[in-house]
Amino acid sequence: MPSIAVLPGDGIGKEVINEGLKILNFMGDRYNLNLKFEEFDIGAERFLKYGELIPDSILKRLETFDAIYLGAVGDPRVPAGVLEHGILLKLRFHFDQYVNLRPIKLLNDRFSPLKKKGVNEINFTVIRENTEGLYAGIGGILKKDTKDEVAIQEMISTRKGVERIIRYAFEYAKNNNGKLTLCDKSNVLTYSHGLWLRVFEELKKEYPEVQTDHYYVDAITMKMVRNPEIFDVIVTCNMFGDIITDLGAELQGGMGLAASGNINPNTVSMFEPVHGSAPDIAGKGIANPLAAILAAAMMLEYFGRKDLSEKIEGAIKISIDENLLSKDMGGNLSTSEVGDEIVKILKRG
Amino acid sequence: MPSIAVLPGDGIGKEVINEGLKILNFMGDRYNLNLKFEEFDIGAERFLKYGELIPDSILKRLETFDAIYLGAVGDPRVPAGVLEHGILLKLRFHFDQYVNLRPIKLLNDRFSPLKKKGVNEINFTVIRENTEGLYAGIGGILKKDTKDEVAIQEMISTRKGVERIIRYAFEYAKNNNGKLTLCDKSNVLTYSHGLWLRVFEELKKEYPEVQTDHYYVDAITMKMVRNPEIFDVIVTCNMFGDIITDLGAELQGGMGLAASGNINPNTVSMFEPVHGSAPDIAGKGIANPLAAILAAAMMLEYFGRKDLSEKIEGAIKISIDENLLSKDMGGNLSTSEVGDEIVKILKRG
Ligand SMILES: CC(C)[C@H](C(=O)O)[C@@H](O)C(=O)O
Ligand SMILES: CC(C)[C@H](C(=O)O)[C@@H](O)C(=O)O
């Protein structure tokens, strides 16, 4: 029943999305999910050929799907920022995907970069605001290219935007019996993060069952390395979320294992591996598809099938234990072999 | 000859600054430095008693010194932000201390939180812009406390401000035969960090002998954990500098070992341990004075005595090897015993 728009994008995007689809097709058949897929050709090629990013006709079509499954965008032939803005951020903003959900979960101790922290300690979720803040794209430049130049970038926070993400985070923490941590810099960003802090304090009262705490963003990065076990759910603004989730990705073993969901339950949500298009290894069949597969699992969870998402994660764990991995992860399998092995494990399980 | 204004501040500030002064006095005597100290009573006590932060009369007096040696500010009886703004940020801005210099240097492998990285890998310097960006304090709130509330915080970058810090960083990298890395988010913060990137590209041409590279801030946090050895000198904006230097402090063994300099060679520079006032352990004589001592060493380097700064760092290394440390570092010495031991080592050396 759920319809999925597939946007493989650039570079290794196509290769890793193929493996995600392999898993989704297998799960779909086995559990009668009746998933419908349609692929859309978006990315550097289209931009270079036609000068267009996402044509309105495609945007309209995307609106009719239940979810978008995105590979990666980015190409050395296109100036930095163009595809990220014109595709990735465009979709996040167009569909008002206000939640960027990023689980930080170490699947195997050997992938932890930390001496003292393993799978028992590195397991939390970052909920990043995804539609405003410093990402608003608002600002300007006065006296450009002169010695008097002044550049202004606005961090804009609305009560509606802040409230809905903090509320989502409280609900998430409540449903997962977790503690909610606010990550901000309200001691310095007194306007924008002052609002965050006030709203957080207000919503606390509505969720007396949720334990909370509060750290400034600088302290969060230290704590993530020193005591990651203290975190269950962290809620934060767009910019800080960008930063701490990449740090988190490293703690869970690197980009090869990081997936993210861009969610708005009332519009179209989008699931993607966090990694980029990796043009240097594209087309060689050696890319690591695990993050894309984890993103597919998140999508199933979003469709209400947490049970199936857990099965996929379980299979990935086994594939890691048995070193059925691509080169970057210390194995020697090709991209499609990794997918095949996970299907085999799922068949067994 | 150099005159130093001593601001012990709050909590453990007084205790750790005492040890820094112990070392400075010893070095002053031995090497005829002719250091002059004068202490100023600034911090929570004054604020609670008189409602004043830094009176103008003191600010005027501070202008006559060569440097400020600051302990820590912060007190649970004072609302969050008040002392940080009224003292720490006030001094940084008043003296236009545009360079925040933060060495990230692991002194002993056992303090590294990372499995694969030790003293050979964790050794670089972050140069943080210290007078503008998101710290400008500019912005406002529309329709406060209504559902239509909008809060704006401005990230303001001036060409003068950006150019002088990037130039400082190029000079620093050149003098230390290091590579210079720009850390920004110019793909999203196109106005403010667009300026950073343009100025960086311009100055590159003036420093053809300095190797450079460029990462977005999210990627930097990953690289700091995965490959810290690739960095020599990182230059970045105020907000990102705040974040990545705390992460860096953790990599070098935590706040107990992190020192920073707030520098403007043309006004009065200020040296401080990065840690806070730690009210929970204040007055017990168990605080770790190493960061304050390292800040004192940075101050001597600033006065042109890099040789002496290296001697102090060498002595600290020995004290670490011999576990002549406070409890938080795994030793069992009191604050003042740690200082005494370092003096003994310096006497020997
Ligand atoms: C590519 C970039 C615009 C994007 C972001 O900054 O959000 C990426 O870093 C991410 O986190 O998804
Ligand atoms: C206390 C706070 C205002 C300060 C900052 O944000 O700069 C601190 O975190 C630092 O890094 O020195």
pLDDT tens for A145-197 read 999 999 999 999 999 999 999 999 999 999 999 999 999 999 999 999 999 99
Shortest alpha-carbon distance between residue A68 and chain B (Å): 22
Backbone angles phi, psi at A185, to 5 degrees: -140, 55
pLDDT (mean) for A60-70 = 98
Tens-digit pLDDT profile for residues A233-281: 999 999 999 999 999 999 999 999 999 999 999 999 999 999 999 999 9
B200 touches chain A (CB under 8 A): no
Residue matched to tokens 């030793």? B331
Q: Which residues pair with B214 in a beta bridge?
A: B182
Using the predicted structure, report yes or no on whether residue B80 has a pLDDT greater than 90: no
Which one-letter DSSP state was computed for residue A230?
G
Query: Least CB-CB distance to A187: which of B80, B221, B251?
Result: B80
Shortest alpha-carbon distance between residue B3 and chain A (Å): 31
| A/B interface, count of CB pairs below 8 Å | 203
Helix then strand count (H, E) for chain A reads 12, 12
Q: Nearest-CA residue of chain B relative to A216?
A: B243
Whether residue B293 contacts residue B316, with contact meaning beta carbons closer than 8 Å, is answered with yes
Could you tell me the residue ranges of all domains in chain B? Answer: 1-97+264-349, 98-260
Confidence class for position B199, pLDDT limits 50, 70, 90 = very high
Using the predicted structure, report yes or no on whether residue A1 has a pLDDT greater than 80: no
pLDDT (mean) for B3-20 = 98
Whether residue B190 contacts residue B157, with contact meaning beta carbons closer than 8 Å, is answered with no
B136 touches chain A (CB under 8 A): no
Query: Tokens at residue B56, please?
Result: 């103008």
Ligand nearest to the CA of A237: 1
Nearest to A270 by CA among A122, A149, A117, A91: A91
**Ligand 2 centroid, distance to A23 Cα (angstroms):** 47
A29 touches chain B (CB under 8 A): no
Q: Give me the percent of chain B exceeding a pLDDT of 90.
A: 99
N-terminal to C-terminal alpha carbon distance within chain A: 24
Q: Which residues pair with B69 in a beta bridge?
A: B6, B271
Using the predicted structure, report yes or no on whether residue B1 has a pLDDT greater than 80: no
Ligand nearest to the CA of B128: 2
Which atom of ligand 1 is least distant from the CA of A73? 1
Using the predicted structure, report yes or no on whether residue A211 has a pLDDT greater than 90: yes
Res A329: pLDDT:
96
Candidates 3.10.129.10, 3.40.228.10, 1.50.10.10, 3.40.718.10; correct CATH number of B1-97+264-349?
3.40.718.10
pLDDT (mean) for A11-33 = 98
pTM for the model stands at 0.97
Residues in chain A within 8 Å Cβ distance of B113: 114-116, 225-226
Atom 2 in ligand 2: which residue has the minimum CA distance?
B84
**Cβ neighbours for A165, distance < 8 A, ≥ 6 positions apart:** A98, A99, A127, A129, A130, A235
CA–CA separation, B162 and B153 (whole Å): 19
Query: Least CB-CB distance to B191: which of A114, A153, A244?
Result: A153
Widest distance between CA atoms in chain A = 67
Which atom of ligand 2 is least distant from the CA of B89? 3
B1-97+264-349 and B98-260 in the same fold? yes
Ligand nearest to the CA of B244: 2
Total residues belonging to chain B: 349
B186 touches chain A (CB under 8 A): yes
Query: Where are the strands (E) in chain B, listed by range?
Result: 3-9, 36-39, 67-72, 99-105, 123-129, 139-142, 150-158, 180-184, 212-216, 233-236, 259-263, 269-273
CA–CA separation, B252 and B259 (whole Å): 11
Residues in chain B within 8 Å Cβ distance of A115: 112-115
Atom 7 in ligand 1: which residue has the minimum CA distance?
A242
Res B172: pLDDT:
98
Whether residue B258 contacts residue B56, with contact meaning beta carbons closer than 8 Å, is answered with no
Res B81: pLDDT:
87
Using the predicted structure, report yes or no on whether residue A80 has a pLDDT greater than 90: no
Shortest alpha-carbon distance between residue B163 and chain A (Å): 9
Preferred mutation among B239, B245, B252 to probe A, highest tally of A CBs within 10 A: B239
Res A242: pLDDT:
98
**Which of A145-176 are b and which e, b meaning 16 or more Cβ less than 10 Å from the residue's Cβ?**
eeeebbbbbbbbbbbebbbbbbebbbebbeee
pLDDT (mean) for B185-212 = 98
Tens-digit pLDDT profile for residues B206-243: 999 999 999 999 999 999 999 999 999 999 999 999 99
Q: Which helix (H) or strand (E) holds B347?
A: helix B335-348
- Bridge-based pairing of strands B259-263 and B99-105 is antiparallel
Q: Give me the percent of chain B exceeding a pLDDT of 70.
A: 100
Cβ–ligand 1 contact at B187 (below 6 Å): yes
Backbone angles phi, psi at A308, to 5 degrees: -75, -35
B98-260, superfamily in CATH? Isopropylmalate Dehydrogenase (3.40.718.10)
Res A164: pLDDT:
98
Which one-letter DSSP state was computed for residue A188?
T
Residues in chain B within 8 Å Cβ distance of A226: 113, 250, 254
Tens-digit pLDDT profile for residues B274-293: 999 999 999 999 999 999 99
Shortest alpha-carbon distance between residue B17 and chain A (Å): 23
What's the Cα-to-Cα distance from A270 to each of A95, A296, A298, B173, B199, rounded to whole Å?
A: 9, 10, 10, 43, 36
Tens-digit pLDDT profile for residues B301-329: 999 999 999 999 999 999 999 999 999 99
**Ligand 1 centroid, distance to A242 Cα (angstroms):** 6
Which one-letter DSSP state was computed for residue B291?
H
Res A104: pLDDT:
98
Using the predicted structure, report yes or no on whether residue A349 has a pLDDT greater than 90: no
Q: Which fold has domain A98-259?
A: Isopropylmalate Dehydrogenase (3.40.718)
Tens-digit pLDDT profile for residues A90-102: 999 999 999 999 9
**Ligand 2 centroid, distance to B24 Cα (angstroms):** 25
Preferred mutation among B92, B150, B236 to probe A, highest tally of A CBs within 10 A: B150
CA–CA separation, A275 and B212 (whole Å): 24
Whether residue A203 contacts residue B236, with contact meaning beta carbons closer than 8 Å, is answered with no
Q: Is A141 in Cβ contact with B218 (below 8 Å)?
A: no
What's the Cα-to-Cα distance from A155 to each of A151, B141, B153, B154, rounded to whole Å?
A: 13, 12, 5, 6
Site to substitute for ligand 2 among A188, A189, A222, A240, most atoms within 8 A of C-beta: A188
Which atom of ligand 1 is least distant from the CA of A89? 3
**Ligand 2 centroid, distance to A200 Cα (angstroms):** 22
Preferred mutation among B135, B152, B217, B275 to probe A, highest tally of A CBs within 10 A: B152
Show the 3-state SS of B49-64: HHCCCCCHHHHHHHCC
Tens-digit pLDDT profile for residues B136-191: 999 999 999 999 999 999 999 999 999 999 999 999 999 999 999 999 999 999 99
